[in-house]
Structure 1
Amino acid sequence: MSSNNNSFTSTACSVLIIGGGNAGFCAALAASQKTSGRVLLIDACPPSWAGGNTYFTAGAFRTAHGGLDDLLHLLSNVDSETAKTIDLAAYPEEEFLRDLDRVTRGQYDKELGRELVEESNGVVKWLASQGLIFELSFNRQAYKVDGRYKFFGGICLKTKDGGAGLVDFHQKAAKSHGIEVLYSTPARSISKNTETGHITVTAEQEGESFTIQTKSIVLAAGGFESSTTLRSQHMGSHWEKAHVRGTPYNKGEVLSLALDQLKAKPTGDWGGCHAVAWDANAPKDCGDRQVSNEFTKSGYPLGITLNIHGLRFFDEGSDLRNYTYAKFGRAILAQPEGEAFQIWDQKGVKWLRSEEYRDGVVEKIHGDTMEELAGKLLAKGLKDKEAFIRTVEGYNNSVYAHRNEHPDAKWDPAILDTLSTQSSTSTLEIPKSNWALPLDKAPFMAVKVGCGVTFTFGGLAIDPKTAGVISAEDGSVIPGVFCAGEMVGGLFYENYPGGSGLTSGAVFGRKAGIGAAVFAEEKGL
């Protein structure tokens, strides 16, 4: 399926896709179903890094749906008996849109967002019809409370075997549809002949250049999160300290080609990104394909997070995890040395997801007392043991005060349960608004975290209906040029609803592939 044999100096195709993540492969698959011409996909990474950031995801797809009955036929891990124990309410398009509006504070492109939402259900079913296996994400998106699986936060679907399974599906689908894939083949230049409409891409293999002639092109090569230079330029110098969560090949090179050579219009939040709480001991400049998404540390709603000076700095219970995890990495990075400690007692520990906190993946620090734990953390970077202990004591006292006023309140991790630190007798400057459990059941546990940057939010402006790239010169769609995935700007600002990234890649990847194929067919190439 992949070839790195540079036996040619030039080649031609009907549709060229640059970038081999979920968006690029969705574009290639959709294009192959609309043209009899050659569909070619190139990627800068070697085969050992195939899939881009898609490989490092948990495979979650946020989609509007009508409840369990709407999805059952897609699922491989739900039998009739299990279905009786599942609480999965409908997630209508209006609710998806409200979530997108709320977490981006209304800054997203409204037409782009509506296309994402309205196409989300259909694109998931299209992928399933192509052979992609979906499951209910019991381990990541549901808690079992009183014997029932309670899904929360608008996500329920994941791909079998997560991101790795999704990449495997895409590679097999590409092979079965005759899509050619060239790895270790970075694009070096893109030019468009305004008279003939032909697009010429200069690419490289093993240090030698060759040209690709095409009538249409899909740009799906990711953002610039792997480039410390571009992160510093667009997001601030402190972003040099962030860990790269996924592929090391998303350096913004194709994004720069589109802006400089195609005169594409930039848009979106160029200072923003998807950034999570990430294992402080993880590799710095790229993800680990064996550990993959397990470096994520999203158990913060079950405890509290303190910086190296022993102080809390965000509301761990401000919203359901799916609406906060993509922004709290930024909050951690803004702290001294860009690191912090997640803390739990045994009430919280038992609810932590094993894939993120299992032995052998994460370094756990334990203490039979909070003072002992704080003492051990001094060797891990904690600067102020006394402040750490005071913070925990103050937090506990405020939780107890709230309980005294609300003795019938019930803790429930699957809803906004309103168990808080705020009461008429005690408040904290930074509250914990939900799931505020006192840390009083020993032994206690801490994990050191940093910031893991997933993908950047700034990108290219596209036509929401076609995924055609908008020109910066006159605001029109550049004929034959399409874009999908993390290169699309304007959809996410400061934050995003969890699971929307893969859905966006599929929705606009499919649009881009169809648009590119139809354009090529009309031009007779």
Structure 2
Amino acid sequence: MSKSVVVVGSGNAALCAGIAALEAGARVLMLEKGDEALAGGNTKYTAGAMRFAYDGNADLIPLLRDPEDDRLPVTEFGSYTADAFAHDLLGFNDGRPLSPEQEVLIARSGDTMTWLAGHGVKFDPIYSRQSFEKDGRHVFWGGLTLAAANEGVGLFDMEMAAFQRLGGKIRYEAAVTDLIHENGRVAGVMVGSEEIRADAVILACGGFEANAEMRASYIGADWTKAKVRGTPLNTGDGLTMALAAGAQEYGFFGGCHATPMDLHMADYGNLEIPHGARKNYRKICYFLGVMLNARGERFVDEGINFRNYTYAQFGRAVLEQPGHFAWQIFDAKVFDLLYEEYTFEDAHFVSADTLADLIPLLDGVDPAAAAATLEAYNDAVDESTPFDPTALDGKGTTGLALAKSNWAQRLNEGPFRAYPVTGGITFSYGGLKVDQTGAVLDTSEAAIPGLYACGEMVGGVFYNGYPGGSGLTSGAVFGRQAGAGAAQGG
């Protein structure tokens, strides 16, 4: 008789777990805390980008929604090897070697993308955010090339369609409140007073990013002020239930995926904003300008690396500034390079024809200090090196205590714009330890029978930062692992 599997959650990781379990012959019931509109966890709020190892164009074409796109013959995707992926992850590990979870993520990333494509989950090249036109060609940079067709909502829709094609069932407004323990194993879940029995339970219900008390406890008091980029429903329920069942805390609980966000956005993400703005008010073009805090000072090297490798750290840096905010300042030279989230109707900014007129509009900022900082920055820009947004161009500053290492251009061409930002949290890094089947391990390193986890629930994947696009890939890799493991092991 086929195994029965309950999946808690309905985002990317949950759906990949469900698809894999169904493939392995299990009967799968998915339980979603929210209503149908809020289903999908954080997945719907993402831009749908997925980072994975590949050797060249030939590896990508089979994954595309439109393999006949007339831009492809003049597109240079480059390659992104397993070694490059490892290098990027190590850059955020604070001296730690690759964790076992990171090694799994790298090794299975490409195959998991092929597996998704085989289930009708198709992708588009990220021309608008990950490439620049150069000498008549589309040149991709940073190793991140593809996003799900129709971004995060499209990823959810395609994965849900695959799940249901295979016979998976889902119930909405069915918040799991406890695990059922019987004969030394997890034997199902409680939805309020209702018992739902199963051979295996997969926790795929996100981290604790929407729980201010847990953010403060694990990450720090500043994080009570963070905007939540995604769903309000990821309040650490799965983590709490698993720890109560004897699971071990694992990974870096003091870290999280963060990003600079519009200061005036709502406290949580908004699925009702237009398709092109589903990046949810994030503001990650700081590398094209400068950021000032309330003291009128720059506080990060805005051009230290491609934004794929800095926005998770810079979101934290913004939140930890006085007043938990900063201003991003640009001049007219880069307006056409700003991503669409800077231009949609809900984007907040101030503008002026001169820097002198802009500075008094920077609410909460010391104007004299801001003027001095911007003057010193302009004077320090290297004018002999050409600006090239497709590469680490070395166009930096000289003589500043805090350099801008790349893409430094003088702010000297009006009009000027400034965007107020704060720190937003996407997901937490700390979680549970799982084995090679996705089974949750207890404090003695033994598998808890019948209990599996994936997605944000898995610790050890990220530490002090995050190469963009890795989160969705991690969810898919560990979701697929947990689904297969639950169906086969029960």
TM-score exceeds 0.5: yes
Q: Structure 1 residues 215 and 106, CA, compared in 2 at 3 Å: closer, same or farther? A: farther
| Alpha-carbon offset, residue 107 of structure 1 | 3.3
Letter in 1 for 2:299: F
| Alpha-carbon offset, residue 479 of structure 1 | 2.3
Q: Structure 1 residues 259 and 518, CA, compared in 2 at 3 Å: closer, same or farther? A: same
Matched, 1:119 2:89: no
| Alpha-carbon offset, residue 346 of structure 1 | 1.1
Distance 2:22 2:48 in 1: 23
Aligned pairs (5 A) from 1:149-188: 149-188=138-177
Residue 434 of structure 1 corresponds to 406
CA contact (8 A) 1:341 1:446 kept: yes
Distance 2:471 2:96 in 1: 17
Identify which of 55, 59, 64 aligns with 1:70. Answer: 59
| Alpha-carbon offset, residue 90 of structure 1 | 1.2
CA contact (8 A) 1:16 1:40 kept: yes
| Alpha-carbon offset, residue 20 of structure 1 | 0.8
Distance 2:425 2:433 in 1: 22
Any idea what SS the aligned residue of 2:424 has?
strand
Letter in 1 for 2:247: A
Identify which of 467, 478, 481 aligns with 2:448. Answer: 478
Matched, 1:284 2:267: yes
| Alpha-carbon offset, residue 154 of structure 1 | 1.3
Residue 97 of structure 1 corresponds to 86
| Alpha-carbon offset, residue 38 of structure 1 | 2.1
Matched, 1:307 2:278: no
Residue 23 of structure 1 corresponds to 13
Matched, 1:230 2:227: no
CA contact (8 A) 2:186 2:451 kept: no
Larger radius of gyration between Structure 1 and Structure 2: 1
Distance 1:119 1:174 in 2: 21
Distance 2:188 2:158 in 1: 30
Any idea what SS the aligned residue of 2:198 has?
strand
Identify which of 364, 370, 375 aligns with 1:388. Answer: 370
Q: Structure 1 residues 88 and 211, CA, compared in 2 at 3 Å: closer, same or farther? A: same
Structure 1, gaps ≥5 residues long: 1-11, 521-525
Letter in 1 for 2:423: C
Distance 1:346 1:286 in 2: 29
Residue 199 of structure 1 corresponds to 187
| Alpha-carbon offset, residue 78 of structure 1 | 4.9
Q: Structure 1 residues 115 and 311, CA, compared in 2 at 3 Å: closer, same or farther? A: same
Distance 1:373 1:510 in 2: 51
| Alpha-carbon offset, residue 191 of structure 1 | 3.2
CA contact (8 A) 1:244 1:287 kept: no
Letter in 1 for 2:316: R
CA offset digits 1:382-406 (Å, max 9, x no partner): 2x1111111111001000xx33xxx
Q: Structure 1 residues 480 and 42, CA, compared in 2 at 3 Å: closer, same or farther? A: same
CA contact (8 A) 1:75 1:135 kept: yes
Q: Structure 1 residues 64 and 288, CA, compared in 2 at 3 Å: closer, same or farther? A: same
Residue 469 of structure 1 corresponds to 440
| Alpha-carbon offset, residue 53 of structure 1 | 0.3
Residue 4 of structure 1 corresponds to none
| Alpha-carbon offset, residue 156 of structure 1 | 0.2
Distance 2:214 2:325 in 1: 22
Number of residue pairs the alignment of both structures matches: 486
Letter in 1 for 2:87: R
Q: Structure 1 residues 77 and 438, CA, compared in 2 at 3 Å: closer, same or farther? A: farther
Identify which of 102, 107, 112 aligns with 2:96. Answer: 107
CA contact (8 A) 1:31 1:517 kept: yes
CA contact (8 A) 1:365 1:445 kept: yes
Residue 388 of structure 2 corresponds to 412
Letter in 1 for 2:191: A
Residue 341 of structure 1 corresponds to 327
39-48 or 284-293, larger mean C-alpha shift: 284-293
Distance 2:446 2:361 in 1: 60
| Alpha-carbon offset, residue 316 of structure 1 | 0.3
Residue 323 of structure 1 corresponds to 309
Q: Structure 1 residues 293 and 108, CA, compared in 2 at 3 Å: closer, same or farther? A: farther
Distance 1:26 1:316 in 2: 36
Any idea what SS the aligned residue of 1:52 has?
coil
Any idea what SS the aligned residue of 2:21 has?
helix
CA RMSD of aligned residues (A): 1.6
User: Which TM-score applies when normalising by structure 2?
Assistant: 0.96
Letter in 2 for 1:273: C
CA contact (8 A) 1:461 1:469 kept: yes
Identify which of 420, 431, 445 aligns with 1:459. Answer: 431
Identify which of 227, 246, 251 aligns with 1:268. Answer: 251
| Alpha-carbon offset, residue 110 of structure 1 | 2.1
Distance 2:455 2:159 in 1: 15
Q: Structure 1 residues 198 and 245, CA, compared in 2 at 3 Å: closer, same or farther? A: closer
Residue 295 of structure 1 corresponds to 281
| Alpha-carbon offset, residue 13 of structure 1 | 6.9
Any idea what SS the aligned residue of 1:482 has?
strand
Distance 1:434 1:97 in 2: 23
CA offset digits 1:445-477 (Å, max 9, x no partner): 1111111100000100111x22221111x2112
CA offset digits 1:57-101 (Å, max 9, x no partner): 000010100111211122124536422221211111111111111
Matched, 1:248 2:197: no
Q: Structure 1 residues 175 and 300, CA, compared in 2 at 3 Å: closer, same or farther? A: same
CA contact (8 A) 2:86 2:98 kept: no
Residue 349 of structure 2 corresponds to 364
167-176 or 308-317, larger mean C-alpha shift: 167-176
CA contact (8 A) 2:348 2:419 kept: yes
| Alpha-carbon offset, residue 303 of structure 1 | 0.4
| Alpha-carbon offset, residue 109 of structure 1 | 5.2
Any idea what SS the aligned residue of 2:337 has?
coil
CA contact (8 A) 2:230 2:269 kept: yes
Distance 1:83 1:175 in 2: 33
| Alpha-carbon offset, residue 357 of structure 1 | 1.0
Distance 2:129 2:112 in 1: 22
Residue 7 of structure 1 corresponds to none
Letter in 2 for 1:450: T
